[in-house]
Amino acid sequence: MSSLEGNKIAAAILVGGMITLSVGIATNFIFPSHHAAEAPEGAAEPEAKPAAPAVVEPVLGLIASADAAAGEKIAQKCQSCHDFTSANANKVGPGLYGVVGRVSGSHEGFAYSDPMKAHAKPWTFEELNHFIANPKAYIPGTKMTFPGLPKAADRAALFAWLRNQAASPAALPTPDEISAEEAAFKTAQEAAAAPAESTSEAAPAEAAPAETAPAEATEGAAAPAANAVAMIATADPAAGEKVAAKCKACHDLSQAAKNKIGPHLWGVIGRNHAAVEDFPYSDAIKGMAGKPWTFEDLDAFLTSPKDYAPGTKMTFPGLKKPEERAALMRWLRDQSDSPVPLPQ
């Protein structure tokens, strides 16, 4: 074996080990009773399939030529939760002035999640790239509800602008850093593709029993999604109150009915869209003015806010489990001076 081939194999093993370790650490964040060093061998394995993020495209080589003005526009999505000015005040999220190079979980006075505090790494451009691509995949358990920026060009533009929001702007990536990131990306792609190739080769022998299953598969595919509205009458409002904790950073659910980042939600069921006085709704929600928030409308919105109202300011990705939506709506109907009747 040549030394070049040996180096390639060693690199692949190293990257594979790093990926395994990353998944293990993420699992340790969720289950803090496990020591980080033990997690790869213990709790990480069952979580690996659903939690494994896609290989993130590199951006270091794009930042120097990226349009900072475009990055500033992208940053507007973040300004309701983060302060980018030199005041660096904490809001729903921590202040982000000077964030490039700052250690994660270290901004004074902010109540970080345990996973973010445990991450404790400097926010290099490479770290930021992985986090902003998919926050919950990179640091499971983070409080960050923003779903991420999937386009490498958008992330590069954001970083080009973000690096200048500091008393001492972070240095641009060096050629060596760019080359190292691209090499790691290529190796990670190859490592991620290898299991898929071996699985596809082995699949034909296992696929034979499928001849007996078409009827069952067809019935399963045609089955409608569970109807959360039909579950509301028997749902547990106490469970719904726990689900509502996800909303309290941005919405007031109390009788005080104060607007925060989002409009207050006291008496929301039965209330018309865009009806809260003095709240600056998005055009998407304003366009539905006069339409009441029925249980059916809320169910559709809570499933996927951006699908229900494209252009909404709501960054929360939604509740995919119908039982969670049903419990939330069961509890939410009681947060009103005149609760609406339960659906029959």
Instruction: Decide which of 14, 34, 52 is a domain's last residue.
Output: 52
Based on the fold, state whether residues 72 and 37 are members of the same structural domain: no
Based on the fold, state whether residues 57 and 173 are members of the same structural domain: yes
Based on the fold, state whether residues 13 and 123 are members of the same structural domain: no
Based on the fold, state whether residues 14 and 107 are members of the same structural domain: no
DSSP string, 227-272: -SGGGGGGS-HHHHHHHHTTTTTT---STT---SSS---TT-TTSB
* Mean pLDDT across 167-182: 91
Based on the fold, state whether residues 115 and 159 are members of the same structural domain: yes
Residues 292-338: tens digit of each pLDDT: 999 999 999 999 898 999 988 887 888 999 999 999 999 999 999 99
Domain that includes residue 142, residue range: 53-178
* Res 5: pLDDT: 53
For residue 326, what are the contacts with CB-CB under 8 A and spacing of at least 6?
Answer: 228, 229, 231, 232, 235, 240
The number of domains in the chain is 3
Q: Which residue has the higher pLDDT, 190 or 102?
A: 102
* Res 14: pLDDT: 46
Based on the fold, state whether residues 27 and 89 are members of the same structural domain: no
Whole-structure pTM over 0.85, yes or no? no
Is residue 213 a part of any domain in this protein?
A: no
Is residue 341 a part of any domain in this protein?
A: no
CA 13 – CA 190 distance, rounded (Å): 11
CA 289 – CA 305 distance, rounded (Å): 16
> Under a CB-based contact definition with an 8 Å cutoff, are residues 198 and 132 in contact?
no
Residues 13-25: tens digit of each pLDDT: 444 444 444 434 3
Is residue 217 a part of any domain in this protein?
A: no
* Mean pLDDT across 52-58: 76
Based on the fold, state whether residues 91 and 153 are members of the same structural domain: yes
pLDDT band at 104 (very low <50, low <70, confident <90, very high): very high
Is residue 205 a part of any domain in this protein?
A: no
E strands along the chain, which residues? Answer: none
Q: What is the mean pLDDT of the chain?
A: 79
* Res 19: pLDDT: 41
**Proportion of the chain above pLDDT 70, given as a percent:** 75
Based on the fold, state whether residues 31 and 61 are members of the same structural domain: no
Is residue 155 a part of any domain in this protein?
A: yes
Is residue 220 a part of any domain in this protein?
A: no
Based on the fold, state whether residues 21 and 96 are members of the same structural domain: no
Based on the fold, state whether residues 302 and 252 are members of the same structural domain: yes
The least confident of 35-44, 168-177, 180-189, 269-278 is 35-44
CA 303 – CA 329 distance, rounded (Å): 12
> Under a CB-based contact definition with an 8 Å cutoff, are residues 100 and 30 in contact?
no
Residues 65-80: tens digit of each pLDDT: 999 999 999 999 898 8
Is residue 197 a part of any domain in this protein?
A: no
Residues 195-244: tens digit of each pLDDT: 554 444 444 444 333 333 333 333 333 333 467 999 999 999 999 999 98
Q: What is the CATH number of the domain that holds 95?
A: 1.10.760.10
Is residue 196 a part of any domain in this protein?
A: no
Instruction: Decide which of 52, 72, 94 is a domain's last residue.
Output: 52
Tokens at residue 41, please?
């061998």
For residue 32, what are the contacts with CB-CB under 8 A and spacing of at least 6?
Answer: 114, 118
With 80 as the cut, is the pLDDT of residue 282 above it?
A: yes
Based on the fold, state whether residues 40 and 67 are members of the same structural domain: no
Residues 252-271: tens digit of each pLDDT: 899 998 988 889 999 999 99
Based on the fold, state whether residues 293 and 315 are members of the same structural domain: yes
Angle between helix 175-207 and helix 3-30 axes, rounded to 10 deg: 80
For residue 108, what are the CA distances in angstroms to 104, 111, 141, 287, 326? 11, 9, 20, 41, 38
CA 23 – CA 31 distance, rounded (Å): 12
CA 184 – CA 130 distance, rounded (Å): 13
For residue 39, what are the contacts with CB-CB under 8 A and spacing of at least 6?
Answer: 24, 25, 27, 28, 31
* Res 55: pLDDT: 86
